[in-house]
Amino acid sequence: LAEKKPTVVFVLGGPGSGKGTQCANIVEHFGYTHLSAGDLLRAEIKSGSENGTMIQNMIKEGKIVPSEVTIKLLQKAMLENDNDKFLIDGFPRNEENRAAFEVVTQIEPEFVLFFACSEEEMEKRLLSRNQGREDDNIETIRKRFNVFLESSLPVVQYYESKGKVRKIDAAKPIAEVFDAVKAVFAAKHE
Ligand code: UP5
Ligand code: MG
């Protein structure tokens, strides 16, 4: 993977901030491949892998799955894809995730797209999503919010200190959020 030297953009933001929704738009307009760490973990549960039960229990509790597991899935997905630019959605979620990914892959993100949104709005979105996600119930949602504040926001702050964060107001309607996202990617291609 180090030889492939892909371009990576991390897409971060609280649960329900719109990461997946906006990644789909970015893929369409800018030719990235979207890798959602959460989707990869959920696929692992479905495939009946030996880690499946552990992953399922952690997601139900809103906890962060050990980085070896997630990084392996991300690496495999990048190696199996011919594209050289990836959106990594929902990872890294804590300092350990971040540091381990750098050491293992030798990849640093080009920048970090950060979707800022109030908990009130995110809660409303998650409770009305209706996609049958086992973590979209109010008890698990509260846990996810706590983990985000305690463990994931520090990762955003770390990248902020390196000047890599592109912060987006994600509380607006989907099309307006994407206008702001487009401006970030357009600036990159100038
Ligand atoms: N919606 C989206 N944008 C909207 C807008 N602007 N206005 C109004 N509605 C909007 O959107 C959520 C809902 O809101 C949708 O119904 C959408 O239509 C609507 P979505 O785009 O799905 O938001 P997203 O930020 O992707 O929300 P998601 O729930 O996927 O975020 P999480 O970060 O909670 O979930 P993820 O799948 O990344 O992780 C789930 C769990 O997996 C974690 O809690 C953790 O246990 C585990 N995990 C790890 O352990 N390690 C990892 O690296 C990754 C995950
Ligand atoms: Mg998502």
Q: Digits of tens for pLDDT over the chain (190 positions)? A: 878 889 999 999 999 999 999 999 999 999 999 999 999 999 999 999 999 999 999 999 999 999 999 999 999 999 999 999 999 999 999 999 999 999 999 999 999 999 999 999 999 999 999 999 999 999 999 999 999 999 999 999 999 999 999 999 999 999 999 999 999 999 986 6
Query: Residue with the nearest Cα to atom 16 of ligand 1?
Result: 129
Residue 44 lies in a domain: yes
From start to end of 84-149, where are the E strands?
A: 85-89, 111-116
CB 83 within 8 A of CB 4: no
Tell me which ligand sits closest to the C-alpha of residue 13.
Answer: 1
- Block residue for tokens 């990248």: 159
* Residues having CB within 6 Å of any atom of ligand 1: 13, 15-21, 36-38, 41, 58-59, 62-65, 70, 90-91, 93, 125-126, 129, 135, 144, 173-174, 177
Residue 165 lies in a domain: yes
Tell me which ligand sits closest to the C-alpha of residue 115.
Answer: 1
Instruction: Please give the Cα distance from 92 to 17 (Å, whole number).
Output: 16
Tell me which ligand sits closest to the C-alpha of residue 40.
Answer: 1
Residue 188 lies in a domain: no
Residue 119 lies in a domain: yes
Residue 111 lies in a domain: yes
Q: Which of 30, 2, 4 is nearest to 103 (CA)?
A: 2
The parent domain of residue 112 ranges over: 7-172
Instruction: Please give the Cα distance from 179 to 148 (Å, whole number).
Output: 25
CA gyration radius, the chain: 16
pLDDT at 189: 63
What's the CA-to-centroid distance between 129 and ligand 1, angstroms? 10
Residue 107 lies in a domain: yes
Residue 184 lies in a domain: no
Which stretch of DSSP H or E encloses residue 22? helix 19-30
Distances (CA, A) of 77 to 83, 144, 152, 159, 161: 11, 25, 23, 24, 29
Residue 160 lies in a domain: yes
Q: Which of 117, 107, 187, 111 is nearest to 149 (CA)?
A: 117
pLDDT at 1: 80
The number of folded domains in the chain is: 1
CATH code for the domain of 18: 3.40.50.300
What's the CA-to-centroid distance between 38 and ligand 2, angstroms? 7
